[in-house]
Amino acid sequence: MSEATRVHWDTRHRVHDDLASGGHTGLDRAGNEIFYAVRLGALLPLIGDVSDGAAPLFVLDAGCGKGHFARALARCGHRVDAFDVSEEAVAHARARGGGPRWAVASLDEWRSPWPYDVVLCVDVLFHLLDDAEWAAGLRNLASLVRLTGRLILTDEDPGTRRPRGEHILHRPAAEYTGLLAPLGLRHTLFTPYGFRENEVGFHVFTRTR
Ligand SMILES: C[S@@+](CC[C@H](N)C(=O)[O-])C[C@H]1O[C@@H](n2cnc3c(N)ncnc32)[C@H](O)[C@@H]1O
């Protein structure tokens, strides 16, 4: 990752509040509350409604920002690891606590002694403009999913690549599938966020081998 990108995220996390910095900088506080609530509502059914204190789901939130989703999943009884490349974001998440184990790392760096039931990556991959960085991050996330576990990531599903502004490149599902299928992850679902005109949604990939 370039130093400029790192500075971009640290600055965004320093300047904006806990929701706008990882949510939508163009929305006011109330809009971001709804944006997060709608997405959490769409996400929970993808993870399932089982919560067993004796055998929690192991969940990884990759690119967790200030930790909104990670904390919510910890409250749902899951055992959550969460990391982000922005030290600023992780310092904020750590100060707030809430259950997850927090760390600073990039998508291609995170290592774990255990595989996860669910690897979650919300609104991060379409910010990776560099294809090699995108592929290395995605490959690493795939390697962290246990057999029958799920990789849940977000992007639009455009017919062709769709750049938006300076910091976004939406890639078609075929690009994700092309990389993940040979690694044993099958594309099982796409659920749009269903938030206003936003065309991003959750892609679910399930490890079948
Ligand atoms: C739009 S925010 C989303 C944050 C969080 N997932 C959420 O939904 O609240 C994108 C996040 O990705 C992080 N990020 C960007 N590139 C990354 C990388 N290569 N590895 C890890 N995190 C990255 C940024 O620091 C930022 O916190």
pLDDT > 90? residue 22: yes
Residues near 5 by Cβ (< 8 Å), separated by ≥ 6? none
pTM of the model: 0.98
The CA angle 25-30-31, to the nearest 5 degrees, is: 50
Tokens for 200? 């991003």
- Contact status, residue 138 vs residue 176, Cβ threshold 8 Å: yes
Residue 50 has pLDDT above 90, yes or no: no
How far away, in angstroms, is 188 Cα from ligand 1 center?
Answer: 24
Q: Measuring CA to CA, which residue among 110, 104, 59, 69 is closest to residue 84?
A: 104
Q: How far apart are CA 110 and CA 31, in angstroms?
A: 32
Number of domains the chain contains: 1
pLDDT in tens, 128-156: 999 999 999 999 999 999 999 999 999 99
Number of Cβ within 10 Å of residue 37's Cβ equals 12
Label residue 59 by pLDDT band (50, 70, 90).
Answer: very high
List the domain range (segments joined by +) for residue 27: 3-207
Probe residue for ligand 1, chosen from 16, 84, 102 as the CB with the greatest number of ligand atoms within 8 Å: 84
Question: How far, in Å, from the CA of 120 to the mean position of ligand 1?
Answer: 11
Q: What is the CATH number of the domain that holds 14?
A: 3.40.50.150
